[in-house]
Amino acid sequence: MASHVLLLALLALVLSQAIASDPSPLQDFCVADKNSPVFVNGFVCKNPNFTTPEDFFFKGLDQPGNTMNKLGFNATLVNAMMLPGLNTLGISLARLDFAPYGLNPPHTHPRATEVFTVLEGTFYVGFVMSNPDNKLFSKILNKGDVFVFPEGLIHFQFNVGKTSAFGISGLSSQNPDVITIANAVFGSNPPISDDILAKAFQLDKKIVDWLQTQF
């Protein structure tokens, strides 16, 4: 009987870890102490006696980001580094700004689901299922529309309009991180062997070498 109880307890522990994203808080809040030398998963808690309303406040999402780049895109991320009060709460958000025909290229968030809300403009968005199906789910979004990108799946947002556009994304982690596919594959440091990339993408090595120079 005791062995069965122990087995169930271990199973519950494993399942709780398997379904969790960020750890759940164990107190009302844990404001990030960004000056602490202690390295932990997330940030060390600031002494609550020294916590102020400013720790829970961020200003500036009304201001558009600079989209003067090759992609015509800018992300203003509000995570625990920018807003210390988010530490241990398992959420963050970002303002996404797009120049006309601007693109947030195919990427993933390894630790977060993303919910994208269009505040201005028209977007073509989508995500791709994992192997072997690799099915594309895509949609044209207009002002007020919402689309969800499941955690870890490759997705993109493209402004199909002739004017600037923007939206707000909510993410289910205080540090969702991002892996832009092209940057990771062709811009890794040190570079991935062009023999590997040429075979993986079925390209001539000269084309791979050129692509690597772009990143």
- Residues 54 and 82: their CA atoms lie apart, in Å, by 11
- Lowest-pLDDT choice from 34-38, 56-60, 146-150, 200-204: 34-38
CA–CA distance, 79 with 210 (Å, rounded to integer):
35
Q: Does residue 15 surpass a pLDDT of 60?
A: no
Q: Which tens digits make up the pLDDT trace of 47-100?
A: 999 999 999 999 999 999 999 999 999 999 999 999 999 999 999 999 999 999
8 A C-beta contact, residue 72 and residue 103: yes
CATH number at residue 173: 2.60.120.10
Examine residue 89 and state whether it is found in any structural domain, yes or no.
yes
Q: Residue 169: name the closest of 98, 100, 101 by CA.
A: 98
Q: Are 70 and 40 in contact (CB under 8 A)?
A: no
Q: Which domain range does residue 173 map to? A: 48-177
pTM to 2 decimal places: 0.84
Q: Which of 18-32, 67-81, 189-203 has the lowest mean pLDDT?
A: 18-32
What was the pLDDT predicted at 78?
A: 95
State yes or no: pLDDT of 118 exceeds 70.
Answer: yes
Total domains, the chain: 1
Residue 208 belongs to some domain of the structure: no
37 domain residue, yes or no: no
pLDDT band at 9 (very low <50, low <70, confident <90, very high): very low
Residue 39 has pLDDT above 90, yes or no: no
Q: Tell me, what's the pLDDT at 8?
A: 40
Residue 4 labelled as part of a binding site? no
- Beta strands (DSSP E) in the chain are 73-78, 92-98, 103-108, 114-120, 123-128, 136-141, 146-149, 154-159, 165-171, 179-180
Q: Is residue 132 scored above 80 in pLDDT?
A: yes
Instruction: Give residue 18's pLDDT.
Output: 43
Residue type present at position 82:
M
Is 104 known as a binding-site position? yes
Q: Residue 215 domain-assigned?
A: no
User: Does any domain span residue 205?
Assistant: no
In a domain, residue 21? The reply is: no
Q: What is the mean pLDDT of the chain?
A: 88
Confidence of residue 189 (pLDDT cuts 50, 70, 90): very high
* Structure confidence by residue, pLDDT tens digits, 133-182: 999 999 999 999 999 999 999 999 999 999 999 999 999 999 899 999 99
Q: On the CB side of 95, how many CA atoms lie within 13 Å of its CA?
A: 16
The pLDDT of residue 210 is 95
Position 103 in a domain? yes
Q: Is residue 2 part of a domain?
A: no
